[in-house]
Amino acid sequence: MWGAKMSEWGSGFCGFGPSFGHGPWFLGWLFPLLFWGLIAYLIFRSFRYLFSGRRSGETDSSFEILRNRYAAGDINEQEYTEQKAILGRK
C-alpha cells in the first residue's frame, strides 16, 4: 500500500531530506513541539490563576496593611474609611 508511493514521497520530499513533518531536518518536529508546549503552558497558567487563592490573599493583605496603619496612628479615621472604600471597589 505505502510502498507504491515511496517513489513519489520518498525521503527527499520537496528536497528537504528526511523529516518528521513539514520542514527540513529538526524543524519538522520542533515547531509542533513548541506550539503544543505553549498551549500546555497557557492552560497550566490559567488553571493556576483560576484555582489559586492568591487574588483574595492580595486584597486581604491590603486591608490588613490599612488596618495596621490605622491602629498605629499613621492615618486618621477619615483617611481609613476613604482608603477602605477604594480598596473595596477593586
CB 74 within 8 A of CB 80: no
Q: Pick the residue with more confidence: 32 or 69?
A: 69
Report the half-sphere exposure of 14 (CA within 13 A, side-chain side): 8
Backbone angles phi, psi at 36, to 5 degrees: -70, -30
pLDDT bucket at 77, cuts 50 / 70 / 90 = very high
How many other C-beta atoms lie within 10 A of the C-beta of residue 74? Answer: 11
pLDDT bucket at 15, cuts 50 / 70 / 90 = low
Residues 70, 75: Cα–Cα separation, whole Å: 5
Which tens digit of pLDDT belongs to each residue from 43-70?
Answer: 999 988 888 765 555 556 888 899 999 9
